[in-house]
Amino acid sequence: MFEDARSRLKAWLVAGIGTVAAIGVAGVMGAFGARQEPLPVLVPVSRIETGQWLLRPLRAYSTEGENPYGVPLKPGAKALVLELEMTNHTAKSTKDYFDLLQAAQATVDPTTRPFIVLT
């Protein structure tokens, strides 16, 4: 009888220690909450070198219900407006600036491309 109780006690201790160790390792590895990396802060005077293009952010804002730069929005839709000054470093004129602007958030459909208005 004592042998049976002793083996059960050992099993419970091993299971308890294993559970605590697993929870500890999972907590250290960040399984209980996604780490929020700070978003990069772009100030208007900062410049972003992308090779062919030099970008200077001017301002960013969200809007709904109005037509930013004459672009019609669907009812209830919102638009993120990012105003940039773009300088082409090459003599070649291309439309590859579409590939420069990509959303990193998973909530944005990756098949959509940004609507770019040149002013």
Judge whether 26 and 32 are in contact, CB under 8 Å: yes
Measuring CA to CA, which residue among 40, 43, 39 is closest to residue 56? Answer: 43
100-107 CB contacts, 8 Å cutoff, 24+ apart = 100/50, 100/53, 100/55
Q: Which two tokens stand for residue 60?
A: 């960013």
pLDDT, tens digit, 9 for 90 and up, residues 15-72:
888 787 777 777 766 655 665 666 666 666 678 787 888 888 888 888 887 777 788 7
Task: Report pTM.
Answer: 0.49
